[in-house]
Structure formats: C-alpha cells, structure tokens
Amino acid sequence: MRKLLFAGLFPLPALGLGLWLTLLGLLIGALNLAFFTEIWPGTPAAKSALLTLEWLLLLALLPQALWWVWRWLRAYTGPGWLRVLATAVFLSGACVVLALWFAVLGGGPIVALFALGIAH
C-alpha cells in the first residue's frame, strides 16, 4: 500500500533504538498519567515524578527526532527545490526546538507553554 501511495518518493530512514525507547517511555508515562487514580492511588508524589519523567523524555525526543529528519534530508535524492524547502523547514524546526529547550530548562514547563502560545 505504501508503495502505491508514495511510489518510493520519500524513503524514510529507520528509527533508531533510542528513539523507539523514548517514544515507548512517553507512551507509558502518558498512560500512567491518564490512569493516575487507578494505578497510583496512594502515592500523591508519583504525579510530580511522572511529569518530570515526561518532560525529560520530551527533551530527549526533540534532538533525536531532529537527527532522524536530518538523516532523511541527507539521503533524499529528489528534486533540488524540494530539498531546499525541506531543509528550510528543518532549520525552522530546529530553532523552535532550541527555543523550547531554553524555555523548559530556564523556567520549566509553564514557560514553555507560554512560549508556544498555548497558555495565556
């Protein structure tokens, strides 16, 4: 089905083991937070520990995802204008990632939400 839809236009590099483990940790942490009252009823400190773990995994995910996209850009052999456009999108995404890193490391998750414009 993938070959029919994309006809080999976008050969994606394989995800590394570290990226898979980070995504798995984010999924498990999100499920723990979603079912917090059922899984951790007697430990109120678990919520802050899970939130800290989620933020750390998110901080670890961003450079890994950027590295994965960069590998795809380096291996891409399509039209030159599309490669230039993809590189521009990659560089703007890298700037957003750096801004979020500084926001989270400088002031915590709330500052990052303000930087994204989610919180008012």
Mean pLDDT of the chain: 75
What pLDDT, in 10s, does the model give residues 12-58?
A: 667 788 888 988 998 998 888 888 878 878 888 888 888 888 888 88
Task: Determine the pLDDT at residue 6.
Answer: 52
From 45-49, 65-69, 107-111, the region with the lowest mean pLDDT: 107-111
Task: Determine the pLDDT at residue 109.
Answer: 62
Could you tell me the residue ranges of all domains in the chain?
Answer: 15-116
**Comparison of pLDDT for 29 and 107, the residue scoring more:** 29
Residue 85 clears pLDDT 70, i.e. is over it? yes
Task: Determine the pLDDT at residue 92.
Answer: 83
Task: Determine the pLDDT at residue 119.
Answer: 52
pTM: 0.62
DSSP string for residues in the chain: -HHHHHTTSS-PPPPPHHHHHHHHHHHHHHHHHHTHHHH-TT-THHHHHHHHHHHHHHHHHHHHHHHHHHHHHHH--S-HHHHHHHHHHHHHHHHHHHHHHHHHHHH-HHHHHHHHT---
